[in-house]
Structure 1
């Protein structure tokens, strides 16, 4: 026992003389012994130290954090870390701690050897951190005592004499946007949110400072903020100058190329992209030889030698677009030298307008001839009459047959009458509906269009009349129907023959009474709507088959307009072709001025089963596969199957059969008697029966049977 006491006494004397701070701590974090160096650093007497715990000198320590630290030290035997200690007078300082586990007299303790980190240590750590952030002026703000340390470079940037000039309260006034700087510093101090921003100073002229800051955590608490400043004024000014130069070049209408002696395209203005039709990715991979197939090695070498000899060269050239079209240009090329390398900058100006007469004199003469022929076949009086009365801006017409259709449109447009437009697909029934609406008293209100063929049967009622929330599964909100939207205007019901039979009574009610019920609603809704319907189907045949209501048909057929097929208005094919050619040539970026006579003749000989829609699609395809300026015949024109002279005509017996069936429909298939078909046809009953038998007329005759006669 005496030996143990002597041993402890000797060790205690040694600990007192050690040049480092040293203390022993028990499991509860109480200081059971501390040497003179430790007591001197903290400012406590030996007796005061006997009542000290670790939480008194390290305010970041909690019971939970001490328990984890105790277990870590005794598990690893030795733990080294950096922390902050608080003196008796309340001053904070940074120390490096080496905590070791040991056992004495059967009990576990921690022996901590502490080394104060002075200013040298701070700068060592600060330099290491700031190099990773900015490699320039750094600073460190201690949140425990508010002190700040800074490198000389940080002081120089702001012409400060001491680090205190860089504390947040003072530094924010160095910047124009002081509120933003204040906000960002507040976030990093209070919330630990790092930032990196570029700010403008209040200096004259102003400077640009890149500011960065990040929090330093102890556990989950912020105890320091580390930051850096970098003066980037020179880089910012260069960037602005280059940005201005680039903006000027890219907004120039002229094309600008910069290329080297090998022909590599090094820089180009953005105007090349829309003008030549190449993408940026394609241009970045191209040389001057790729851009212009007319540039050979011999020409390019001679061109560059001339530039180096004379300094500049101006000449005219033809530039090729990606789609193969060309346009004339005036080029001014200048020789440049940069870092011992030779370059050329070429400014290319489009002179198409100036050269158009020279390049396209033949096409201009042909166009004049074509316009003369067009004027000769025009009925000028009727064209002006219809154009004056009706604003049919999107309907093109030269034929007398189609002008008669437009006269019907002119007659019915000012009225409130319901109109039924019939005709084959692709004849432009919607255009007629729009012309009626645009020339009616309702033109200030909307024209609402709905295609009955494309809507699912279970949704068409909701589309037409609307529904209330919860009216059916999936009705999560109220929906306004098309008739409500068309109130005060016009509704166009395309493909009316496809309307489900069960919805036809509701449509009939709207037309007759101008009222309907929304799905899920108990209130009847009143509307003021003009109805225009269209179909390519035989509604009379559908009535006989029980697929269309007769009363609805008669309500729709108040003013019927039959839109004739293109084969019945062939005089319009040349002008329609020219219109579609100009439309799609502009979209494709190609030059097409006229249609050749051979092309017009080939189109006139074609039957056009798809009508105007087929002609439009055909011309769009022609613009893609052909090159201008004159559209010539090609594989884009289908081969005709039927001679043009027979297109659109029926046999005499077929016409007879159709007419007899129409009269029989009128008499409800009564042949004899005062109101029979024979009396209307001024035929004897027996004669009519014989003719019906010969023509194969029965009570139910399909449209297909009639057409195949």
Structure 2
């Protein structure tokens, strides 16, 4: 039998047994010691732990066989553990402070007493562990706070991202939420934020300490001294600490002194330095030259000698104002020795020198400037009168233009389309939700823009989102935003389109393409004006007007369960049907001429008009692709043809009202499908590129691919 001496903190016990007395020791530690007790073998594996260990770290006893020092302290390497083993073996008892990790990943600071012992030819380390997280940090923080006046401290744990901030730090930065002091947020509060960001990166990545003065973005701005230092564990940085101090007053004094020196070097300005009693204690050479006094006279002067209108009471109040505001600027009339006077601009700067308040006054003759200002004022009055007249004329002209082209960018002469614009005009002045329906290419986005521009929200943005061009998995993030780390790939915070459109308008094009599982979130925005960004536990309130558009039959989608009925009713408060081009043929010549001028200028061609035969062809053609198809035809024609008049050519569609067109009534989706197939046959299945189907149809490649997939169109079969 062999005795084993075990040291538990300040206590020691002798164990009379050849084997490790797990049951007896376990009972001792649970009953007597309020500490974690752990035994390790040479490989760092935990061979024994008491109940308090499992309770504090969150492990089950059945997990003991799987645990090691590397689970308890993820920063320890195998080499470091071996060095620690050798140290404890050599010294028998080792006491140190460390950081341990619970099962849930949270870190806490500990004090460890490690004892080396052997039994039956096997060696172990017995560790008694006491948590000191709160007392250790706050004791150090309070010690620093007591030594520093008006200094706020913070600590960021790089292992779990936890941040601790003092109340003084929050006061200095002027925030209530400590999250505002995180590196990614705090940099935006300073004018030189990019420089500060570099310092923080250097601190976190390579332990480069810093101590700088930063200027805030506030008005008036302040100067904050910021210092930071890394806390290392071995060669690894696991914490960074820092402090903030408001040094605005000191910095402003330095700026004022720098201004004083710069002004003295400028011989054209008059520079005086007075004390509180009004004594002239310093002046620039220009004072004697401009005012006509000798230096001997000036050496004995006070402010009362230079200006007899100033009283001691006024001067005392003036010095108080300068001391309070640091810098005062005003205009004054300055007298010369010969009795003449001139208008001056005076900048009075406060300087504190050897405990005495000084007034450094810089005086500049502004007689010439005042004369120029008078001349400019008279000129501006004339310009203002002409401007008012021009605005009245412009307002009249704009009214006449809008009567002709409707809402600035919508070309229309037909009565049928004028009815549509009348509906737009009525609903624009309200905040009512609008649903615009109609075929592709009819200009639904132009109507949405017209509604927004004629609404009370036109000073805020119109945010446009095309659902058909967004992958389903990104729509929610695009609309509502996400927090950093909300999903794989979310490496930074993203502001959603609804947030960007706050107090403005959002246009949701192709609303029928919105996934069913996201429609409830959109419904919540319409009903409550609120949503939760991805990865955020805070609800965001917005005031957004919603305009939606679709070329699909939402009634049929509701019946098939592809679109929420309640959402449909919320969107369909004020429906506007945008009629196809074939129902407003009176507008075709005007639209064609507009596109001809647009693309002729862009291509450097000389086209001026469209021949009657070409117009007749246009009027016979049904334009299944609507205005977008007409625009693409004109653009292609301008590229292919030459001259000043656009005549018919090969660029015209093959089916141009020759009576062979299929007159069978079809669904809108079938018409779309037929037209896309016809264009794909024309391009021999090519979708992308300048001569591809997407270009001819006037849509993006991704949008066309999405429509082909939905309509069941395969490129390899359309032209067989």
Q: Mark yes or no: TM-score above 0.5.
A: no
Report the TM-score, using the length of structure 1 for normalisation.
0.37
Please say which structure displays the higher CA radius of gyration. 1
Given the two structures, how large is their TM-score scaled by the length of structure 2?
0.36
